[in-house]
Amino acid sequence: VIRPLFAANWKMNKQVSEVRAYVQGFIQAALPLEKCEVVVAPPSTHLTTLGSEAQNRVFQIAGQNCGPAASGAFTGEIAPGMLKELGADWVLLGHSERRHVFHEDEALIGKRLSAALSAGLKVIFCVGETLSERKQGTTRAVIEKQLGNLKLAQKGKDLVVAYEPVWAIGTGEVATPEQAEEAHRWIAEWCGAELGQTPRILYGGSVKPENSAELMAQRHVDGLLVGGASLEAESFAAIIRHGVRGWESKVSLMKEVLK
Ligand code: PGA
């Protein structure tokens, strides 16, 4: 049985001094953590603090990106092994802000992916179309091109895909459950055909406590990647609580159907 995964992407937010209160707030929320996996991706400078605060294993920690090699002349980059050294088990790669704000191309993202997997990091690999690509009807082709790099990954078990339509990120405009499900099904089909297995597929883009249950109730939605609404522990916890509920209702429905 796969467990749903809930990931928080803090982006370039928070002071180190806010980290402890966040972890305390998260613990107080008393979530059913045996039923899901939780990952928090803080700015790299907060990894040590967050890691030691979260040591009671309420959640795992992730880098928001990693360098394209094990070491070397890459000013401003952090090697995947360095993230591991600070306690990160995971790394986000190909996030839409990396692709569109910092213009990372497929070749660079591929190098980052190879380096991350060689270092033994688990990867949350982000894909998603822009609004104009969706309007042009090229969503599936765009996603499949972005997924192409995953063929580099032999250790498929360490991979998670996050579908994040660019037009839904930080805009308050969430994809409808049907739009999310359609794209997730495409991703599942592509991975099945090209990789011989289907990783967990997270939805991201304006996820809130009010929409997490409905998104998680979709057949191919295995988790959520949350930006803005993950910055407060209470709100991220509410997303997880409702999300687990949505997930469980789907699972029991599927069991009924399979009877
Ligand atoms: P958002 O960001 O939840 O603020 O839309 C999601 C993301 O960028 O991962």
* pLDDT the model gives residue 55: 78
* pLDDT the model gives residue 154: 73
Q: What angle do CA 224, 133, 198 make, to 5 degrees?
A: 40
Q: What angle do CA 12, 212, 165 make, to 5 degrees?
A: 55
Question: CB within 6 Å of ligand 1 — which residues?
Answer: 9, 164, 169-170, 204-207, 225-229
- Give the Cα separation of 61 and 90 in Å (integer): 6
* pLDDT the model gives residue 157: 64
**Would you say 88 and 63 are in contact if contact means Cβ atoms under 8 Å apart?**
yes
**Amino acid type, 211:** N
Mean pLDDT by 10 residues, the chain (259 residues): 94 95 94 95 96 86 98 98 97 98 98 96 97 97 97 78 96 94 98 94 98 97 98 98 97 89
10 Cα to the center of ligand 1, angstroms: 9
3-class SS of residue 227: coil
- Give the Cα separation of 40 and 59 in Å (integer): 7
Q: Which protein residue has the closest C-alpha to ligand 1 atom 9?
A: 227
Give 214-229 pLDDT, tens digit per residue: 999 999 999 999 999 9
Catalytic residue among 46, 95, 184, 220: 95
- Give the Cα separation of 12 and 97 in Å (integer): 11
Backbone φ and ψ of 161, nearest 5°: -105, 140
Q: Report which of 100, 103, 105, 87 is spatially closest to residue 40, judged by C-alpha positions.
A: 87
* pLDDT the model gives residue 229: 98
- Give the Cα separation of 94 and 163 in Å (integer): 11
**Would you say 39 and 63 are in contact if contact means Cβ atoms under 8 Å apart?**
no
- Give the Cα separation of 250 and 155 in Å (integer): 28
* pLDDT the model gives residue 43: 98
191 Cα to the center of ligand 1, angstroms: 23
- Give the Cα separation of 55 and 110 in Å (integer): 31
Q: Report which of 41, 28, 110 is spatially closest to residue 69, judged by C-alpha positions.
A: 110
Start-to-end Cα distance in the chain: 17
Asked about 95 being catalytic, the answer comes back as: yes
**Amino acid type, 67:** G
Residue 215 vs residues 11, 65, 144, 185, 254: alpha-carbon distances, Å: 22, 26, 22, 13, 16
